[in-house]
Amino acid sequence: MRITILTGAGISADSGIATFRDADGLWENHRVEDVASPAAFRRDPQLVQRFYDLRREAVQQAEPNAAHRALAKLERELGAAHGDDAVTIITQNIDDLHERGGSRNVIHMHGELLSALCTSCEGRHRWKGSLIDGPDCPSCGIATLRPDIVWFGENIYHTEAIYRALEDCDVFAVIGTSGQVYPAAGLAAEAAQRGARTVLLNLESTGGLFDDEQLGPAAEIVPVWVDELLTEI
């Protein structure tokens, strides 16, 4: 039995992290094209660095919620019976709340806020502080660090691992994402084509074709879903 789970901003909303496209979302005060593309970074690096510095700080104040912890429990319990890779989380989120909630098998397809990428040497470094003052890259010494995040028009990370997790899963669950950003938005349909049962757990219906939909706040509905799944298996 293998379960692959795609998560988005909605799973971290109950930890106090703003989503992108909901009312009062992160981008309400920013045009996406001003902060989340390579062109935006070239045009105004200070604005972009400040935006991510604030979010890096906020993420470190946030705590995993019951939904993150329930997915970790699913991984632990299913892993004990079906092997370490029985549960894979593919997350679009750049926070580290899945890991701090106890999950191990996590793929960050849009990068990580607590990582800095050097555009000179392509080195990656765990980074908790600010980038706005242009610190030197610990590898090459050049001050060209940027947030290690996938912006629009850039290739997603870990494509091979994502498709491996999608190809051989029995259940593909989608939690807390509006399904507006590709290629993430197409993964459930691809898993269904390969024979997986699909389920959406979200605050509201997102209109995709899922075998099952459970609506409500992730911190409430995910623990219930996990417990049901563990009794079924």
Q: Smallest gap, in angstroms, from Cβ of residue 55 to ligand BJW?
A: 7
Q: Smallest gap, in angstroms, from Cβ of residue 1 to ligand BJW?
A: 25
Contact (Cβ atoms closer than 8 angstroms) between residue 199 and residue 173: yes
The correct pick among 64, 101, 176, 223 for binding ligand BJW (CB under 6 A) is 176
The correct pick among 49, 198, 202, 214 for binding ligand BJW (CB under 6 A) is 202
Contact (Cβ atoms closer than 8 angstroms) between residue 176 and residue 182: no
> Which residues in 16-43 are b (16+ Cβ under 10 Å) and which e?
ebebbebeeebbeeeeeebbbbeebbee
Residue 40 found at the interface with ligand BJW (CB under 6 A): no
Looking at 30, 82, 110, 125, which residue is catalytic?
A: 110
**Stretch of 42-50, 95-103, 135-143, 175-183 lying at the interface with ligand BJW (CB under 6 A):** 175-183
Dist CA 181 CA 179 (whole Å): 6
Per the listing, tokens 């060209």 go with 144
The correct pick among 2, 3, 6, 8 for binding ligand BJW (CB under 6 A) is 8
| Residue 110 annotated in active site | yes
Cα–Cα distances in angstroms (integers) from residue 230 to residues 16, 73, 135, 216, in the given order: 28, 10, 47, 20
**Stretch of 98-106, 122-130, 136-144, 149-157 lying at the interface with ligand BJW (CB under 6 A):** 149-157
Regarding beta strands 212-215 and 145-149, do their DSSP bridges make them parallel or antiparallel, or are they unpaired? unpaired
Q: Which helix (H) or strand (E) holds 115?
A: strand 111-118
Residues near ligand BJW, by CB under 6 A: 8-10, 13-14, 19-22, 25, 36, 92, 94, 110, 149-150, 152-156, 176-178, 180-183, 202-204, 206, 217-218
Active site residues: 110
